[in-house]
Amino acid sequence: MEENIAQKLRHVQTAVETLKICQNDPPNELTNNYGFIKFDENIVDATTRLSQYIRLSLNTNAATVVKFMQQGWCLPKPDLIISVTGGAKNFDMSTRLRKIFQSGLVSAAITTNAWLITAGTNTGVVKEVGEALNKYRYKNRKNGVDVPCIGIGSWGYTTGNEQLDCQSTTFSTDASTIKEIVPSMRHRFNKITHTNLMGNDHQYAVRHYTVKEKIRKRCDLEPNHTHFLLFDDGQPNADTVLSLRAEIEKYCRNTCIDTDTDGTVESLIPIVMVLVEGGPSSIRTICEALDSNTPVVVIKESGRAADLIAELHACYTESENDDDNVHPTRLQTSLAKSGSKETKINAILTKAQAAITELHEVIDNLCRVLNERKQLVTIFKFDSKRYHGNLEDAILESLFNAAKFSGDHIERNRRTVELKLAIAWHKFNYAQKYLLTDTTISNWKEDDLQRALFNALHRGHVDFVELLIEFGASLEKLTNGDLKQLYATTLTSNRLPFKGKGKNTICRREDFYSDYLNLIFDNTNKDNNLLLLDDNMSLGKGGPQELFLWALFLNRFELATYLCSKTWNSSVAPLFGALIYRRAANLELDVDIKQQYKENANQFDTHAMSIIDRCLDNDENFAINLLKHPAVAFNDIYPLQLARKVNCKSFLASKCVQKYLDHQCFVLLVNYFPLNIYNERQSGIQMLPIPITEIILHICFWSFIIEEIRQFLFVDSKLEYISGIWHMIDTIGAILYLISFITRFIVLEPLFVVSK
């Protein structure tokens, strides 16, 4: 952990120096206020999880800030940006609405790999966001996945900012110094002794942050955020950051802009703003967002600004057809066409002025943007039949509306955005009905379908993968770079286990091959080593096989089952599934997960049996040849050799395998009694003490016992061998035979009866 902290600090230091990020006082000097915050206010906040922060001048360019977030903090590229604004002070929200808001917000963020952006203050709606993240982390503490939550606030408005000043306690980025700090973090209230080391231009710290008393017109930082951007202009005013925050959110959308093969620019990262309650500052933020074509979801019945905007939006949408013919910047002309509409708006504003101070300063701008961009506003009511209480559905609808009404003249970009959102939210019916149809397929480019296929694989949506392949996307045309990215970016919490590695360790393809397929695939071969291959080279014919194994290693059972049918040797692929899951069961410690792995292995075994038997029913010669010849797609391994190694009993007992063995083994069946058609004696041998039938029985049983001993000595896992139900039955039969065999030699009538 200490090395990880030091490495992160070095990234920040390099980014500050490269991007020339300055502080406000003294001006034009590189900032040295950055590092980690450890919240120690109370038992709930006290945690070993650290939040990163940096103090910047308010004059810092928004593009520079976004570059710092990427280079200094190494934040992963998001698929969605959710900006939350609203009440800056504590407000009343019903328990049900609070639960719906918190669960819906986190669900949307997790589903879409989103960034959350807030004001970072420990009050009002931002506090609700923090509590939602805290609940999520607690419920999912095993997988270690976190949601980037970035607080953009004012340094002067932050209570206790002197605790974050670099002039207090510092320590070096050297790992040896941090080693002295990390153990003490395990104790919630032990202070850290920071050491200054000579020879460093900048010193950093893990700083304890405690706010014991609230200060009027200031606010402390919310402890569940992962990052804080604290802008300093020398004033304790939170509103001075609003315009810069809007610019930062705008530039965050540009993090994935690139040029494709046709020279056109890819679509921006989608962004949505969520409004809960709020006052004049929130209204200003909403106006700036709508002017930037950012869709807004308003939580109705949360109070003040949110309720005002919901009511005004209803008025403007009632007579939308009349408003379309009016110049949007002249609100009075629009209102004059409908006396009832004007009366309603005036009544709404009069009622709102009692709850929102300084409303007169922002109302004209609010009415203007609502009239111009009402299609970008989505009203969410928790008991609405439209959304069935799902906030994430309202967020998705607002993003769809933004894509449709963004004014983007490139139809291709709009379709691409909609499909990406549909895949992220798993809205298969919408995509099948509106996006990927027989009438629209001619409008899709191959590159767009391939990117969509990659996204569907990344998220594990089997139905989307199947639909995209049906409409022309190809597994073979995905590249080595795509495969690397699938291994690197997919959530690792559910992947199959490794020896000596934690669940959250990101592992490469070569690591999986080494642990699970080391006796079958040779990683020293350049053709098998993904790291040595060109990222732009397509996977080719081996693509389905590579993706099938990737799905297995990442424990995506349903996706692996589907991809199994796309491999070149679909009768052998399930045997690999059984092999990998059986090895995973041997490595797994959790009893429930171990049992699930065994069930998955048995399902693949049964799947292999059903495939080979179906081949037999259709073409016997073809099915027999499948067993005779090696599987080219899987390193020329023979199916029966693999099935015997994995102990796939269902496959080995299949009709096809038995038919194959009939062709290989010729057995002469002879009745050991003479044909009694001439009334001859039972045996011509006079001196035998026991019948010939019993001799044959003993020979068969001793052969059976010797074979069981041989299997036990040469099997890989003796525990698994003993626990098998078939082997248990065989063992019981052998024991009963030995008892009867031994008791025959004891001349006592009771024992003789037992032996019989």
pLDDT of residue 393: 87
pLDDT at position 173 is 46
More confident residue, 198 or 456: 456
What percent of the chain stands above pLDDT 70? Answer: 79
Quote the pLDDT of residue 243: 87
Q: What is the pLDDT of residues 503-518, one digit of tens each?
A: 656 678 888 888 888 7
Question: Could you give the CA distance from residue 615 to residue 624 in angstroms, rounded to a whole number?
Answer: 9
pLDDT at 180: 46
Instruction: Give 636-674 pLDDT, tens digit per residue.
Output: 889 999 999 889 999 999 999 998 888 776 554 444 444
Q: Is the pLDDT of residue 204 over 60?
A: no
d(CA 357, CA 143): 45
Question: Beta-strand (E) ranges in 122-258?
Answer: 149-154, 205-209, 227-232
How high is the pLDDT of residue 200? 40
Task: Check pLDDT > 80 for residue 324.
Answer: no
Query: What is the separation, in whole angstroms, between the first and last Cα of the chain?
Result: 70
pLDDT at 672: 44
> With contact defined as beta carbons under 8 Å apart, do 56 and 229 qualify?
yes
Across residues 192-204, what is the average pLDDT? 36
| pLDDT surpasses 90 at 379 | yes
- φ, ψ of residue 276 in degrees (nearest 5): -125, 120
353 φ, ψ to 5°? -65, -25
Q: Which of the residue ranges 213-217, 275-279, 546-550, 684-688 would you say has the lowest mean pLDDT?
A: 684-688
- Residue 624's nearest CA partner among 661, 575, 666, 574 is 661
Tell me the three state secondary structure of residue 298. strand
For residue 493, what pLDDT is reported?
A: 66
CB atoms within 10 A of CB 163: 16
Q: Give the range among 235-249, 468-482, 502-516, 584-598 with minimum mean pLDDT.
A: 502-516
DSSP class per residue in 576-634: HHHHHHHHHHHH---HHHHHHHHHHHHHHHHHHHHHHHHHHHH-HHHHHHHHHS-BGGG
Mean pLDDT, rounded, for 219-240: 91
SS3 33: coil
Q: How confident is the model at residue 557 (pLDDT cuts 50, 70, 90)?
A: very high
How much is the pLDDT for 143? 57
Could you report the per-residue pLDDT of 106-151, keeping only the tens digit for each?
988 988 889 999 999 999 899 999 999 988 887 776 555 678 999 9
Residue 51, pLDDT > 50, answer: yes
Specify the pLDDT at position 226. Answer: 94
Higher pLDDT, 240 or 202: 240
**Percentage of the chain with pLDDT > 90?**
33
Per-residue three-class SS string for 341-388? HHHHHHHHHHHHHCCCCCHHHCHHHHHHHHHHCHHHEEEECCCCCCCC
CB atoms under 10 Å from CB of 26, counted, come to 7
